[in-house]
Amino acid sequence: MKKSSVTKRPAKKSRSDFFILRLYIAGQTPNSMTAIANLKKICEEKLEGKYRLEVVDLLKKPQLAKGDQIVAIPTLVRRLPPPVKKIIGNLSKTESVIVGLDLQSAR
Amino acid sequence: MAEAKPKQEAARTMLAKSPTGIQGLDELTGGGLPKGRVSLVCGKAGCGKSLLAMEFLVHGAVRYGEPGVCINFEETEEKLIANVASLGFDLRDLIKRKKLFLDYVFIERSQITEAGEYNLDGLFVRLAHAVKTIKAKRVVLDSVQALFAGVADTAILRSELQRLFRWLDENNLTAIVTGEAGVDTLTRHGLEEYIADCVIALDHRVTEQISTRRLRIVKYRGTAHGTDEYPFLIDEDGISVVPITSLVLSHKALKERVSTGIAALDEMMEGKGFYRGSSVLVTGTAGTGKSSMAANFARAACARGDLCLYFTFEESPSQILRNMRSVGLDLEKWVKQGLLHFNAMRPTSTGLEGHLAVIHRQIAQLKPSVVVIDPITNLISTSGSYDVKSMLVRLVDFLKVQQITSMFTNLTFAGDPQERTAAAVSSLMDTWIVLRDSKPNGRPRRELYVLKSRGMAHSREVRELIVSKKGLELGVVLSDHTVATHVAGQ
């Protein structure tokens, strides 16, 4: 895992189906590593070229926890499109992630 | 035996305490909350637990040099700041000076989907960040049960809470966790099971339209504590608890004497009057001159330079000043000089406990030498079934420990001369002066006698009490001596 953020260049698309995602972790714990791997897989499959993912390690930037009201780790925040949605856990339940991010309609 | 003692002493000092700064509570707990440990404060909504926790932080930051963090699960920072501003706490200033750190933690369940394993590291990160930022020594979590509404998996939540409390212990933080009262349990989610060191329960009851607040120390490991409920008060200065001031009768008896305010009455008491630090009861039916006696006693106290605190339950201070002027007592002069302080309260404005809390607080602030409570009857009448005597014992003990000379007046009713008072308070009093009406030969007059006065050879004569424009005086010894030879005191 390199640094604290992974950025994908988006292919310009209409605003509403572009996803901005932020995954909060606290250190490289097994759950966090699993979450990153799971999330990447889902995004590649469902959102190819239509998303930007940022991983925030709260051990490095604890002050960022407040803004998105992070309590559980890992927490994935869908910042765009609105409304804001949060998914907590290591994202191993793929169906829940797809439902939580509202990816069925994004297709 | 002699060797065992220092060991015991050492064990006692080993348990370090963190003072809360809350009047009365630190006395009850022998110095405050267990230092570096987690304490639970529980009770129903509105019982004052958040305020207690906040006072613990503010006093810690201001008085004891211990910065504090408040993780609040229920109110935003702005609301919290506004809530305690009325108590004179300027949280913004403390935050600016890095003495206080507020973090509002909010979980919107409807926004959240759970998809796999997680823990509450986010909360830990926030708490650790806050503690590190201001080098905090104190932490408040108010109130964690909000997490139960926000986190679906209670098994995870429970183990995480345990981990959180352990983390607080390991980091040597003195913490208060608040919890809402459950139906049959101290807290709704059984938080008390996780907290081993100190549990305090608060209660707010309304009986006969009078509200009383009580505090009970449910457990406090390593500290002898009373298991009684202690009344407490929330007013513009925050919380104050009425403690028992002395578990034993250890107050020192003073030999100094103070004037009763009436030269002839002093004469009846070995020519010297009351003992300083003693408590005096004045009973009588309506219109027998009890208030005049009390006012005269207060005037005499001020005249010799004693600070006097005068609690009145029936009349406003201005009414008393006017009435007493009519019998030649100029009290206004002493008010202006700052030696006489009035405190007028409506008897029904709060319960007996509330009144006692006010009395305690005022005495602690002013440190008077003389206290007058006129009349105590009203305190008794507001109390309902609660044990009046134990409350009055606390008050009288408190006054004695402070070496304050006190006078209580009490209204008795015709045909029921002393019984009611006698049962409740007389045994607590060192001196008991009885006033009564009499109509020998159709001419009404007031009579006075000293029913008891501990530690002195007092006169048992009945004298006429003369209240005139010139003040209070005693007339000649009355020939129709009808007092039963009541041998009181020793």
**Smallest Cβ distance to B122: which of A71, A90, A94?**
A71
Q: How far is B108 from chain A (nearest CA, A)?
A: 9
Under a CB-based contact definition with an 8 Å cutoff, are residues B330 and B360 in contact?
no
Find which of B108, B112, B121 to mutate to test the A interface (most A CBs within 10 Å of its CB): B121
Residue type, B485: T
Quick one: B121 exposed, middle or buried, by C-beta within 10 A (0-12, 13-18, 19+)? Answer: buried
Check A62 against B128: CB less than 8 A apart: yes
Nearest Cα to Cα of residue B446 among B468, B433, B464: B464
Q: How does B471-488 read in b/e, with b if 16+ C-beta sit within 10 Å?
A: bbebeeebeeeeeeeeeb
CB contact under 8 A, B114 and A88: yes
Residue in B116, B126, B150 nearest the CB of A90: B116
Which of B117, B123, B133 should one mutate to test binding to chain A, selecting the residue with the greatest count of A CBs within 10 A?
B117
3-state helix, strand, coil in chain A (%, to 5): 30, 25, 45
Interface probe with B: pick from A71, A99, A103, most Cβ of B within 10 Å: A71
Cβ-Cβ contacts under 8 Å, B76 against chain A: none
- Residues 23-82 of chain A with CB under 8 A from chain B are 24, 26-27, 29, 31, 34-35, 38, 58-59, 62-63, 65-66, 69-75
Of A58, A74, A94, the CB nearest to B118: A74
Q: How buried is residue B315: exposed, middle or buried, by Cβ count under 10 Å (0-12/13-18/19+)?
A: middle
Among the partner residues B121, B147, B151, nearest to A26 by beta-carbon distance: B121
Q: Which residues contact B431 (CB under 8 A, 6 or more apart)?
A: B269, B274, B278, B279, B280, B281, B450, B452, B453, B454
Q: Do A87 and B147 touch (CB under 8 A)?
A: no
Distance CA B355, CA B377 (A): 13
Q: Kindly identify which residue of chain B lies nearest to residue A58, measuring between CA atoms.
A: B125
Partner-chain contact B118 A66, CB within 8 Å = no
* Cβ contact, residue pair A58, B125, below 8 Å: yes
SS3 content of chain B, % helix, strand, coil (to 5): 35, 25, 40
Q: CA B425, CA B105: separation in Å to the nearest integer? A: 52
The reply to whether B393 touches chain A by the CB within 8 Å rule is no
Which residues in chain B (147-206) have CB-CB distances under 8 A to chain A? 147, 150-151
Please count the CA atoms within 13 angstroms of the CA of B183 that sit on its side-chain side. Answer: 0
pLDDT in tens, B90-127: 999 999 999 999 999 998 888 899 999 999 999 999 99
pLDDT at residue B485, as a whole number: 45
Confidence bin at B421 (pLDDT 50/70/90)? low
Q: Closest Cα partner for A56 from A2, A3, A4, A6?
A: A4
Q: What is the pLDDT of residue B262?
A: 93
Sole residue written with tokens 């060797």: B3
The pLDDT of residue B83 is 86
Please give the model's pTM, rounded to 2 decimal places.
0.70
B29-63 per-position pLDDT tens digit: 888 999 999 999 999 888 899 999 999 999 999 99
Structure-token pair, residue B475: 């007339």
- pLDDT at residue B483 tops 60: no
pLDDT at B487: 44
| Residue scoring higher pLDDT (B376 or B81) | B81
In chain A, what residues touch B103 (CB-CB under 8 Å)?
66
Q: With an 8 Å Cβ cutoff, is B113 touching chain A? A: yes
Lowest mean pLDDT among B71-85, B275-289, B328-342, B385-399: B385-399
- C-alpha to C-alpha distance for B22 and B240, rounded to whole angstroms: 6
ipTM for the whole complex: 0.85
Please report the pLDDT score of residue B378 as a whole number.
65
Residue type, B407: M
Q: Give CA separation, B457 vs B223, B283, B377, B452, in Å.
A: 44, 21, 29, 10
**B194, B260, B244: which is closest to B353 by C-alpha?**
B244
pLDDT at residue B7 greater than cutoff 50 = no
CA distance B44 to chain A (A): 26
Residue B218, Ramachandran bin (φ over 0: left; ψ between -120 and 50: alpha; else beta): alpha
Q: Give the ranges where B136-289 is alpha helix by DSSP (H).
A: 146-150, 154-170, 263-268
Give the per-residue pLDDT at B351.
66
Q: Is B389 exposed, middle or buried (0-12, 13-18, 19+ CB in 10 A)?
A: middle
Cβ within 8 Å, pair A71-B147: yes
Question: Mind telling me how many Å the CA of B83 is from chain A's nearest CA?
Answer: 22
Closest by CA position to A89, among listed B365, B116, B99, B395: B116
Higher pLDDT, B129 or B457: B129
Q: Tell me how far apart the alpha carbons of residues B366 and B375 are, in angstroms, rounded to a whole number.
A: 20
| C-alpha dihedral sign at B458, B460, B461, B463 | positive
Q: Report the residue of chain A nearest B160, measured CA to CA.
A: A72
Q: Which residues of A touch B122 (CB under 8 A)?
A: 24, 26, 58, 65, 70-73, 75
- ∠ CA B382-B227-B212, nearest 5°, is 25
**Cβ-contact B481, B462 below 8 angstroms:** yes
B244 vs B247, B393, B428, CA distance in Å? 7, 9, 15
pLDDT band for position B234 (cuts 50, 70, 90): confident
Query: What letter represents residue B71's amino acid?
Result: I
Query: Measured between alpha carbons, how far is B332 from B340 in angstroms, rounded to an integer?
Result: 8
Q: Judge whether residue A107 has pLDDT over 50.
A: no
* Chain B CB within 8 Å of residue A84 CB: yes
- In this complex, do B151 and A75 lie within 8 Å of one another by their Cβ atoms? no
Q: Phi and psi for B261 in degrees, rounded to 5?
A: 100, -15
Pairing state between β B174-180 and B38-43: parallel
- What pLDDT is stored for residue B114 in this prediction? 92
CA distance B60 to B54: 10
Band (A1; pLDDT cuts 50, 70, 90): very low
- Most confident range, picked from B257-271, B381-395, B410-424: B257-271
Given a cut of 60, whether residue B245 has pLDDT beyond it is no
Residue written as token pair 């509105």: B46
Q: What are phi and psi of B453, to 5 degrees?
A: -160, 110
Single-letter amino acid code for the residue at A75: T
Contact B351, B210 (CB under 8 A): yes
Chain B residues within an 8 Å CB radius of A63: 129
Subunit contact B112:A86, Cβ cutoff 8 A? yes
